[in-house]
Amino acid sequence: MEIALIFLAVILVGVFIWLFSIDGSYHVKKSQVVEASRERVFDLVADFKTWPTWSPWLCMEPDARVDVTNNGLGTGAVNSWVGDLVGTGEIEHLDIVENASILQEIRFIKPFKSKSEVYWRFTEVDGGCEVTWGMKGKMPFFFKFMAKQMEPWIRMDYERGLKMIKDFIEKGKIDSEVKIDGVATLDGFDYIAIRETCPMYEVGPSMKATFAKINELCEKEGVESDSAFSIYHKFDFTDPECTYSSGVPVNQSIVLDGEFYKEIYPTIKAVKVTFKGDYEHLGNGWAAAYSYARYKRLKVNKKIDPIEIYLNDPSNETDPANWLTAIYIPVK
């Protein structure tokens, strides 16, 4: 017993030394050019009442409770939220320089307590306004190890939010609707596909080129399919590269050559999210799926790659607002 206690004490001392050695600070920022005046962009961000429209978190859980003080405007105004996926917290305007900058403090209560500085910068550029959204702070002592893990996720959230700000101002709408279906079964299927690796920022154009090759093969071989998909083999926001396969289900023999391959996607139990809207905002659906898995404490099955299935064809349905995508994250 005494030896066990000594061993435990040594481990605890080691953990404390390790935590003391970690910086625990983080700083993330993203920028986006919006084709509008600096005043227009500033007014949108400065008004907390508009945040549910473009928030990268509330789009996952539109039924979360949201309250604002001071009519959502001016120094001292507070925007608070309570939800299952978004947790509990609040953000306050600390300092506002008209049409130039906003300084805020965000205070998280659940899933754990922490606070950070949030800042916005609005700069006139050719073609409109460059808006920069940043966050910096320090993790609580026992969570210091999470600081660097958090940065890519915050960066992704900010990127999603800035895209929605851009669409809302430039188009007057955001083609993004998330429906969490819960845990579902996806039946396995045979498929043909092309596997590609590309920089994260080129995934969209790369997939477009990949599907052009697949469509050409399908026309040549007389393959008919009512859906298409992409499987993500490596999609890590801490890594600059993404590896994916895009393809179509098949139930017939087909002659393949070159970069094409044939495989079977297995039957899986998965968190399912149905996303309706522009593929530019598909990240909202993925964020909701992973947030739901964490909330329900579901263990992701890392032996099977996640998949998104495109339920209609953009060449037939030309309005991005009506594009349907089913997202599946395999769980155990």
In sequence order, which ranges of the chain are alpha helices (DSSP H)?
2-21, 38-46, 51-54, 147-171, 203-221, 282-295
pLDDT at 19: 40
Taking 70 as the threshold, does the pLDDT of residue 139 lie above it? no
Taking 80 as the threshold, does the pLDDT of residue 12 lie above it? no
Q: How far apart are CA 275 and CA 324, in angstroms?
A: 6
- % of the chain beyond a pLDDT of 90: 70
| Distance of alpha carbon 306 from the chain centroid | 14
Q: How confident is the model at residue 20 (pLDDT cuts 50, 70, 90)?
A: very low
Which tokens sit at 174?
């955001």
Is the CB of residue 191 less than 8 Å from the CB of residue 229? yes
User: Out of 3.40.50.1100, 3.30.70.2740, 3.20.80.10, 1.10.10.1590, which CATH number does the structure's domain 181-330 have?
Assistant: 3.20.80.10
CB neighbour list of residue 200: distance below 8 Å, 6 or more residues apart: 237, 239, 240, 241, 242
Per DSSP, the residues of 12-78 read HHHHHHHHHH---EEEEEEEEEESS-HHHHHHHHH-GGGHHHH-TTTTT-TTSEEEESGGG-STT-E
* 316 vs 177, more confident: 177
- Same topology, domains 24-173 and 181-330? Answer is no
Task: Name the CATH superfamily for 24-173.
Answer: START domain (3.30.530.20)
Average pLDDT over the chain, rounded to an integer? 88
Question: pLDDT by residue (tens digit) across 60-118?
Answer: 999 999 999 999 999 999 999 999 999 999 999 999 999 999 999 999 998 778 889 99
Q: How far apart are CA 204 and CA 198, in angstroms?
A: 10
Task: Please state the domain extents for the chain.
Answer: 24-173, 181-330
Residue type, 273: V
pTM: predicted TM-score of the whole model, two decimal places: 0.86
Measured between its terminal Cα atoms, the distance across the chain in Å is: 37
Is the CB of residue 272 less than 8 Å from the CB of residue 326? yes
Taking 90 as the threshold, does the pLDDT of residue 14 lie above it? no
Phi and psi for 49 in degrees, rounded to 5? Answer: -65, -20
| Distance of alpha carbon 262 from the chain centroid | 30
Mean pLDDT score, 294-299: 95
